[in-house]
Amino acid sequence: MAERLGPPLDEPIFDELAIIGIGLIGSSLARAIRKQNGARWIVIADASDETLARAEALALGDRYTADVTEAVRGADCVLLCAPVGATGAIGRAIAPALKHGAIVSDVGSVKGAVIAELEPLLPTHAKLVPAHPVAGTEQSGPDAGFATLFVNRWSILTPPASADAAAVGKVRALWEAIGANVEIMGAAHHDLVLAITSHVPHLIAYNIVGTAADLEDVTQSEVMKFSAGGFRDFTRIAASDPTMWRDVFLHNKEAVLEMLGRFSEDLTALQRMIRRGDGDGLFDLFTRTRAIRLGIVAQGQETAAPDFGRRGPGENAPGRRA
C-alpha cells in the first residue's frame, strides 16, 4: 500500500522558505512542503545552473537562483540541503543576508560537525535548529525526489542547548506536516547512533563491492553475472552519492571509527567461529540478527516483502533508505 500524506495545513508555517541544494532531499522537501502548504513561497538555490534549470522545469519552487546569499534575504526559514562538506561555505555566504529572526535548519547526515561549523558563523538573531531525516535512497538530484519520502520516517532534531523553543516547535511542525515522526536528540548521540545504523553499513557496502571489483581470481563480469541477492543489496547501497558519503565519513570521523572498532572485534569473533566449526555460535548470532530485522518490520520502518527496495517511489517506497 502506498504511503500517503495527510491533509494539507490550513495556514502555512512559513511565509517564505529557502531550500539550498535541490537534490534528492531538497527536492523531496520542496514537493512535500508545497503539497502540504508548509510555506507560502519557496525559493530554491543550487550551485549548479543545470540542476536549477531542472528544478524549474519540475516546478519545485516559486523562484530560482544560483546565488545563495540572494536566496535567503526574505526567508523566514532556510533549509540547507547540500552535502555536509558545503556547510561552511554556505553558512558564510548566507549569514550577512539572513532576515532578522530567521530559522536556519539543515538535513545533514552528521550533526556535531555541522553545528560546530554553522553556529559561530550565524548572526545572533538567527535561530539554528539542525535536523536529519532518516529517509533517503541511493539516488541523487531533483528528479530522484518524491513528496512521500518522509512519511512515517523519523526526522531527528538536534537543537543546541541555547535553541529557541518556538523555532524548534516550527521546525517540528514542518516535519510533521510532511508525514515524519520527530525525535529530539543530542548531536553527539545522534552521530553515534547513525554511525552504526547508517554510516558503517554504507562503509561495509563500499568495502565489499570494492573488494569484489578488485579480486584477481574472479573476474568483474563473473561478479556481475552471478551476483546473488546479498551482493546485489550491497551494490545498491554502494551506488550512493560519492560526494555525500565522502563528506559523511570526513565529518563523523570519531563515531564511525569507534563503531568500526567494535565491528572489527565482532568480525574477528565470527572468523574464529568459522575456523573452529562453532555452528552453535553462528546459529545463535544469526537468530539474534533475524530478530532485529523482524523488529524493524514490526515498527513499520521496512516492509517484509521479499523484493524490498526494488519497486518505484510512491509504491510504499520501500526502497527509502537513509
Residue 177 C-beta: closest distance to ligand NAP, Å = 18
Q: Which residue has the cell 532534531?
A: 157
Q: Which is nearer to ligand NAP, 82 or 185 (CB)?
A: 82
CA–CA separation, 245 and 243 (whole Å) = 6
Considering only residues 210 through 249, tell me which ones interact with ligand NAP, judged by CB under 6 A. 241, 244, 248
Q: Which is nearer to ligand NAP, 38 or 130 (CB)?
A: 130
Site string for ligand NAP, 143-172 (x = CB under 6 A): ------------------------------
Residue 322 C-beta: closest distance to ligand NAP, Å = 5
- Of the candidates 3, 16, 46, 176, which one interacts with ligand NAP according to CB under 6 A? 46
**Per DSSP, what are the bridge partners of residue 65?**
45
Whether the CB-CB separation of 200 and 260 falls below 8 Å is answered with yes
Identity at 304, one-letter amino acid code:
A
User: Does 71 contact ligand NAP by CB under 6 A?
Assistant: no
Number of neighbouring beta carbons within 10 Å of residue 174: 29
Q: Which span sits near ligand NAP by CB under 6 A: 41-49, 184-192, 265-273, 277-285?
A: 41-49
Distance of CA 52 to the CA centre of its chain: 21
Considering only residues 90 through 109, tell me which ones interact with ligand NAP, judged by CB under 6 A. 90, 107-109
- Of the candidates 5, 9, 47, 239, which one interacts with ligand NAP according to CB under 6 A? 47
Number of residues that bind ligand NAP (CB under 6 A): 33
Whether the CB-CB separation of 42 and 101 falls below 8 Å is answered with no
User: Does 141 contact ligand NAP by CB under 6 A?
Assistant: yes
Count of positions (residues) in the chain? 322
Residue 280 C-beta: closest distance to ligand NAP, Å = 38
Backbone φ and ψ of 31, nearest 5°: -65, -45
Q: Which is nearer to ligand NAP, 61 or 83 (CB)?
A: 83
Closest Cα to residue 229, out of 309, 137, 140, 301?
309
Identity at 95, one-letter amino acid code:
A
User: Does 83 contact ligand NAP by CB under 6 A?
Assistant: yes
Strand 131-133's sheet: what is its strand order? 131-133, 154-157, 181-184
Terminal-residue alpha carbon distance, the chain? 21
Q: Where does this chain bind ligand NAP (CB under 6 A)? A: 20-26, 45-48, 51, 68, 81-84, 86, 89-90, 107-109, 132-133, 136-137, 140-141, 241, 244, 248, 322
